Structure 1
C-alpha cells in the first residue's frame, strides 16, 4: 500500500515575486510521511517546450502539472508530484516540474541558474527538454551546466587539486542526464548510416580541436556534460498533435495523438521506470522522502545566506538531523516494546533480560536502518547509553513491583504470627517451638505463592532478619527449654542468619555477572549490526567508485580517440585516485578494524565492565566477514 495519497502536484520550491526561492511547508509535510526510498525525476528546459506534458505521462495522468496553451510560462518555481513507483515495490517516484528557463517576463538568469542547480542536486534523473534539434544553439541554451561548479561545492575545504579533477566528485552523486528533443523532424542518420538516439547525442557532444576563444566557448558546455554526467541518454519525439490539438492537449487521449509520439513517450517512460536509480548521496546513502525534504531545506538555507551549497556540509547537517532522530525513534521503539512485552514482575532476572535483548535488537535495527555517516559512532554511543538507561529504569520498575507484591504476601502470610505476638500466644512454655512451626508454615505458603518476581528471596530474607530478635527473645523466655537447649537454638539462629547473609552476597554476585554478561551481549549485538551495515556501505562505495571509474576510463578512451591527448592526460590523476579509493574499500581488514576501534571506544565509555572482553568479541565477529 502506498504511504500517501497525492491526487495532484503541489509547489515544492516557491519562486517569490522578489526572486527568492523557498521550500513550501505543505510539500515538506508530504515528504515527511514518505519513509520509502525515492526515485526523483526533474525536468528542466526553456519555457513552453512541453516539460509538464512529459511529467504527467510519468505520473500516468493526462492532467496534473499545468500545461498551459499560451506563450506565458505556467510553472513557477519547482512543483512536486509523489506517486507510487510503478515498477519498484515500496519505492516512491517523485516528479519535479521546474519553471521554464529563459522566461522573458522574469528576466533573471541568476534565478534560472539556481533552479537548474537545485534540479541537479535533488534528482536522480535529470531531464533536459528542448525543441527541434541538438545543435549549437541548443547547447548554448544549456549554458547553466557550465555554471554548476560556481553554484555547487562538493567539499567544504578546497582540495589541493585542479578544477578539472573536481569532476570526479561531481560524477559520484550527479544524476542520469536525459536529453529529450521535442518536435524532432530530422532522420537519425550520420554520414548516410542510421544511428541511435544515444549516438545522436554523443555525436553532438564531440569536441573541436583548437585553442581559440570561439572554440573554447563551443567546447565548454560539451565538456561539462561529458565530465559531470557519467550516464547519458537521449530521446527524440515527433510532434504530438496538430497546432489546434496542442492547444487542448490535456483533453486528448493517446488514440488522438500521433502514433509515433505515443510510442516514443512509452519508450521514455519505460526507461525512467526501469533504469533510473534511487536518489543517493555521495557514499551511496539512500534518500527517502523525508530526507529529500531536509536536503532541499539545507540547500535553500545556504542559497539564501549567500553561500554556495556544499554537498559535504549538507550531508553532515543531514546526518546530525537523521541520526538524532534515529536515536530518538529507536528509544521510543524500545520503550513501547518493553512496556508491551514485559509481564511485571518477571520470575527471574534472566526472563527480564531475554525480553530486553529482543526489544534492544529491534531498536538497534531501527537505528541502523535510518542512521548514516556516524563515522565517530557518536550517535550509536548515545543509543547505547539511552537503551542502557531505559533498561535500568525498567529493571527498577520490575524490582519495585516485585517488592510491593512480596511485601503484601509477607504481610498476609505472617499476619497470624503478628496477631499471636500481640496476643502473647508465644509467651508461655513451648512458645518458641510453636513460633518456629508457625514461621516455617508461613514461609512454606509464601514460597508456594506464584508471581512474586525477582525480589522474592531478598524480601523474605529481609523480613526474617527482622524476626531474628523476636525469635531470640521468645527463645530466652521459654521456660520449657533448658539452658543447653537454648544455647543450641541460639547457635542455630546465628547459623541461619549467617547463611542468609552468604546467600545475599552470592546472589548479588550472580546478578552482577548476569548484568555484565548482558552488557557483553548488548555490545556484541551493536557490533554485529554495525558490521552488517558497514559492509553494505562498503559495497555501495565500491559500486559507486567502480561506476565513476568506468565512466572516467570510457571518457579518457573517447578523448584519446578524438585526439585530445591533454584532456585525456588530465583524467589520469582522477583515475589513479579512484583506483586508490577502490583498493582501500576492498581491503576489508582495514575497513572493519577502523569500525571496531570506534565502537570499542564508545562501548567502554557507555557499558562499564566490558573493556577486557572487547578484543575477543570484535575478533570473533570480524572473522565472520572474511
Structure 2
C-alpha cells in the first residue's frame, strides 16, 4: 500500500546516459506498488542553483537528493523520492529532482529539452528554480518553455495543426511555481510594496511592437501565460554566507538566515497545501501505477524518435487499465461463484440468482477501475466473457447433475437389471411385476436429495434406454392376451411421448430463462457504463469550465494591457472550447 512505501533515499527514475534517456526498472517497481493518488512535484533549473536543497526540504530531510558544493553538476537525469504525503494520508508525495540544465560539460543539450518536457508532463506542480531576479537573462534561460509545442503533441490526430491550441495543453499541464534564489531586491513597484506573485505577473508583462527583438522578448512570457494560467512565485534570501553554502546540508535552521528559514516554510506549506493530485484530461486521477505507465509511454516515444503525445499516453493508459479492469472483474466473478455455489443446484434459478449477485459485483469492479472506454470495446469484452463464464458454470452444473444422477440410477436400478438378466420376470404376470418394482425404485430415486436440475431428464433417458427390456417382457408374458399386450404397448408409448414432451418444454423453459438473464445482464452493464460515461462527461465539462475561466482571465489581462491581437487570438481559443463542449469529446 502507498502508506507503507518507505524510501530511505531517492532513486534514479530516468537516467541520462548522454545519448539516450533510460528508465530505471527499480523505480518503476516502486511506482507500481503505489495504489493511492500521487501528488507529483518536479523541479527544474540551471545547474548549481540549489534545486536539490528545496526538494530535500519538501521531503522533510537534511540530506537525500544530492547537493553539490562545486561547479560540477551532481544530479543526472531525473531522480525520484516517494513518501506518504505530510498533510494528506490518502495521497502519496512523489518528488522529482532533475539534472541541472545547460551544463557546459554536456555539449549537446537536446536531453535538457526532453528532461524539461518530461518534468512538465509528469508533475502536478512544476517548479522552475533560478538565481537572482526575473530579468531578460532569466527569461532567455527559460527558453525551454517556448519549445514545448515542438516537443509535445496534445492530440494524436495526424492532421492536427502545427500549433496546438494551448487549451489542449492546459488540461494536462501542472501548476507553475517560480522560485528565485538569493533574491536581494526590495519588492516594491511605484513606491508600493508588492508580493512575489505581483512581481512575477509584472515580469510577464508584454511589450508592444512587431520587430524581432520584441517578439523574442514576448515569446517566453506569452508561453508561460498561455500554458500555465495558474502560477505562483517565491523569493528566497541567501541562506547563509557564501563559505557556509558548501556545508548547507549539514547546517541546522538556527545557523541559517532566519528570513530564509521563514521563506522556506512558506514555500513548503504552499506546496503541501495547494499541490493537487496529478490529474489527466478528463479528470483521470493518477496513482503510482498510472504514473509508471506515463513514464514508460513518454520515454518510448522519445527514444523511438517520436514526440510524446498526451492524448496517446492517456489512450495507452486507458487500454492498459481497462484490460486490467476486465481481468480483475472476471477473476472476482469466478472466485465468488466457485466459493458460493454448491453444485449441482436443484434449479437453474438458484444458479442464476447467484450469478446475478457475483456479476453485479464484477461489473461494479470494472466500472470503478475503468475509464474512457469510449468505443465500449472493453465493456463488450466484459459482457462476452461474463456470458461465456455463465455458460461454463451452467454446463458444469448440468454435467455434475448428470453424473450424480447416472451414479444414483445405476445404484438404485442395478439390482432390478440383475433380476432381468437372471430371468426373474420371465413368467406369467412378469411384465406388470417388473413395472411395479420399477415404479417403486423410481419413487426411491425421486426422494433422494442432491440430484440437481437434470434429475427428471436423466430418469427419462434411463427409462427410454429400458423400453426394449419392457417390450420383451411384455411379449413374453403369457398371462396377457394380444389385445392386452397392444393396450399396454400403446400406454407405454404414450407415457414415453408425454415424458419427452415435458422434457422438451423444460429444456425450452431453461433456455428462455438463460436468455432472459443474459439480456438483463447486458442491460445492467450498459446502464452502469452509461452512468460512468456521464460522470466522466460531467468531470470533463467541469475541467473545461475551469480552463475557460482561467483563459478568460488571461484574455482580460491582455485586453487591459492593450494587446488586442493576442487578446483576440485567446478569445478565439475560448470560443472553440465552448463550441466543443456541446460535443463533449473526453479527449
TM tier, smaller: over 0.9
| Aligned residue in 2 for 1:83 | 83
Residue pair 2:425, 2:431 contacting (<8 A) in 1 also: yes
Query: Counterpart of 1:619?
Result: none
**Distance in 1 between residues matched to 2:328 and 2:312, nearest whole Å:** 24
The 8 Å contact of residues 13 and 79 in structure 2, kept in 1 or not, is answered as yes
Give the deviation of 1:376 after TM superposition: 1.7
Judge conservation of contact 2:379–2:529 (CA < 8 Å) in 1: no
**Are the structure 2 counterparts of residues 470 and 549 from structure 1 closer, same or farther at C-alpha, using a change threshold of 3 Å?**
same
Identify unmatched segments of 5+ residues in structure 2: none
| Structure-2 separation of matches of 1:490 and 1:67 | 102
Aligned residues: 585
CA contact (8 A) 1:153 1:310 kept: yes
Structure 1: how far apart are the matches of 2:381 and 2:62? Answer: 50
Q: Does 1:179 align with 2:183?
A: no
- Provide closer, same or farther for how the CA distance between residues 38 and 179 of structure 1 changes in structure 2, counting only shifts above 3 A: same
Is contact 2:41–2:124 with CA below 8 Å preserved after alignment?
yes
* CA drift at 1:90: 3.7
3-state SS of 1:414 partner: helix
The separation in 2 between residues aligned to 1:173 and 1:253, in whole angstroms, is: 38
Q: What does the per-residue CA deviation read over 1:546-574, in whole Å, with 9 as the maximum and x for residues that have no partner?
A: 11101111011000111111111111211
**Residues 503-550 of structure 1: CA distance to partner in whole angstroms, max 9, x if unpaired?**
111111111111111111111121122112102210121122111101
State whether structure 2 residue 33 is matched by structure 1 residue 13.
no
Cα shift at 1:491: 3.1
| Partner of residue 392, structure 2 | 393
Instruction: Give TM-score, length-normalised by structure 2.
Output: 0.93
What is aligned with 2:53? 53
Retained in 2: the 8 A contact 1:546–1:582? no
| Larger mean Cα displacement after TM superposition, 491-500 or 319-328 | 319-328
The structure-2 alpha-carbon separation of the partners of 1:350 and 1:130, relative to structure 1 and needing over 3 Å to count, comes to same
Alignment of structure 1 residues 129-528 onto 2, 5 Å: 129-157=129-157, 163=163, 166-528=165-527
Task: Find the counterpart in structure 2 of residue 106 from structure 1.
Answer: 106
Q: CA deviation at 1:28?
A: 1.7
State the 1:291 CA deviation. 2.0
Distance 2:205 2:79 in 1: 34
Deviation digits for residues 301-349 of structure 1 (CA, Å, limit 9, x no counterpart): 2222222222233333333333333333333333333322322222221
In structure 1, the partner of 2:71 is 71
Q: CA RMSD in A?
A: 2.3
Per the TM alignment, residue 350 of structure 1 is displaced from its structure 2 partner at its CA by 1.7
SS of 1:70's equivalent? coil
How far is the alpha carbon of 1:280 from its aligned partner? 2.5
Q: Secondary structure of the residue that 1:105 maps to in structure 2?
A: helix
Deviates more, 1:446-455 or 1:318-327: 318-327
Residue in 2 that maps onto 1:547? 546
In the alignment, the residues of structure 2 paired with residue 450 and residue 143 of structure 1 have an alpha-carbon distance, to the nearest angstrom, of 82
- Could you tell me which runs of 5 or more consecutive residues in structure 1 were left unpaired when the two chains were aligned: 586-590, 595-626
Task: State the TM-score, normalizing by the size of structure 1.
Answer: 0.88
The question of whether the paired residues in 2 share the 8 Å contact of 1:152 and 1:308 is answered with yes
